[in-house]
Structure 1
Amino acid sequence: MTDGKRRIAVIGAGPAGLSFARALAGTDTEIILLERQPLSALSSPAFDGREIALTHRSVRSLCDLGVWPRIPPNEVHAMRQAKVLNGRSRFAMTIAPGATDQRPLGILVSNHLLRRALFEAVHQQSNVTLRTGVAVDQAQVERDRVRLKLSDGSILESDLLIAADSRFSQIRGQFGISTDIEPLGRTMLVGRVRHEADVEGAVTEWFDRGRTVALLPLDRGLSSIVLTLKSADADALSALTGPQLDRQLTQYCRGRWGVMSVEDRLHAYPLTLTYAHRFVADRFALVGDAAVGMHPVTAHGFNFGLAGAIRLAKLIADAPDVGDNQRLAHYATAHRAETRPLYQATRALVGLFTDDRPVAMAARHAALRIGASRPTRSALRALLMQPGEH
């Protein structure tokens, strides 16, 4: 840079972009966060229905970043065990912590609280400049810098450009990065519900005919429900309100948790899986969902985004040139090694457990019985805790 500073531009002030910026706190790197949304959407994000399942690794990272103390303790909920069910069968494969491990499987925190805590921490950083209500129209590398043309007509130059602008990133294609994009034709409906049954801190993942239901415990008689349906069915359910919605939701769950009632409303998210063919290019890197857009069934989207953002920040923190291609390549190799196996395993899992043909229903019931064996259960527990936990 002509002014002698190390400068990084980050597109997207969501969890991944904010985590990356926070991981570079205290360095001599100037970070410019570019966000389409207004400042109010970042400083006071609205409840969006989503509860994030955090691994212990992610909790430690958030503590290290000084973010965790900003989460209200009464909004932190433990996942003590997980149960996986298939169809109408009452058999459940149970996954619990190891006999010598007193920790829960993971921790649940609302997405909007994580976003707010990350923003509050980053907003106080002296090396961060936040520009809201602005988008990047064009980006190109010119010798040793990236030149950005912004939607307000201004020009910005940086040593490195980070795309953290969601799984539908508008900028990665300008750097020649193609992406596997797989719309699933299904929609995830999420929200908080009251129910009669006491789930005692157990997360339930239930693969039923034509739907997948996850129940995430928050408090006695209160959980977050994640209902995945064909998009047309999700639209029909979303159109209901009040007692009609409560009755239909109870029926969808076959009364397994008794009478259910929605606290506010259900939030809809069409499901699309994405995986970028490359994570880096010349003076350019992808983090968060822009690199890997996971299916929510294994709940690792936020965890992978956080881990990748921190990994990249550590690799370039002391680099004379933050856009050094060798360090970017190290990030890409490590992040692909961590994410690709679980991404592929998740696709296979979703394929089997959303296939309603009789032969598939029988196969997944057999898979759950096999999964209940001690060695397999231990492997599944390790998978839920994410690589690198041990």
Structure 2
Amino acid sequence: MNRLLFFSAGFSLIFAVSCSSSSNDNNTQTRIINIPTYKVEDRNAQDCRKLFSDAKRVSLKSTDKNTTLANIGSIKFERDHLYVLDDITRKLIKYDQFGNPIQILSHRGRGHGEYLDIVDFCIDNEENVFIVDGQRDIINKYSRDFEFLSTYNLHAEIDLIQILDNGNFLLGLSSWNNRKYAGDELIITDGNFNKIKTVARYGRNIDDNYWVDSPRFVKTEDNIIYHRTIDDHVYILNSADGELKEIINFDFGSRTIKEDERLNIENKIETQKFKDKTTLKSCFSISKHNLFGTLFDNQESRQIYMDMDSRKITIFHKDKSKAVPFIQFCGAGSGYLLAYELEQHPNRDDETYTIYLYNIH
């Protein structure tokens, strides 16, 4: 396919009052980015590697079975340490800047200091780690050495957690949460997880049974990016205090998945109802100069890089006919875009994950 619908910051920006899901009724502006039809460059895995030619590379080392990764779920980079969540084994491994594993969090269970499932985590200024247990609906706090410190029960179902610069927390609640804070999408709490305010409430169709991609917070230098599919809005929040600064709406025109089409998603995908649709699947980094993200276009995932200055869009695709490693965008932190590549060794039974840290300033 030679033509796709994309957005460009160079196009007209329409400002309006906030959509109804924002608690900042008349103060938050919505930036609507109109999307033209573009001829885009279609590139392969080798070209994606060239984009990261100047990036810092860290090969994650495995010293034993306990430090072997099954599948990377998420990565964060804080204070010269990489934190990698394995979404199969539910282990959280902390690496130094050279890729050596230095701490492993793997306390599975229902006992004191244990968890069943890590759905998200964050790190504070003292390198304490907070994890969200999505099955037990608790938050556990561990020291920089992964020693258990405390447990918090919010009596609510939580998807996301991010500590703010002022010591408070930004939490993303599940769309199906019918317990405490029902209907809230984003809330700010104090350091003991007592609610201070609601940032956003659910006011649109969300399929609780199927995710095109996981919701996520991505922390940049000054902002926190929040996005949840299927929704073409991206929330930009202040990393200092969690205040909502801007809502960016990516308008895909006739290819937009309409509000009444955003339920029973699995059936629509199986019956090819989204073959002529495009939606924003993930946004890992957005600045005045570039964007790294993924589209769900024609029911396929398309990893994109946008150079805002030259208004050039590049799609990177994996050649399924060749066993060539493919770089996957996965997040941001401390001024870097984070990506990873999995290389399988033909003459050995193991495989190596390489993390790329791309300076996005």
Of Structure 1 and Structure 2, which has the larger fraction of its residues in helix? Answer: 1
- For the criterion TM > 0.5, the same-fold answer is no
Q: What TM-score, normalized by structure 1, do the two folds share?
A: 0.23
Larger Rg: 1
Of Structure 1 and Structure 2, which has the larger fraction of its residues in strand? Answer: 2
Q: What TM-score, normalized by structure 2, do the two folds share?
A: 0.25
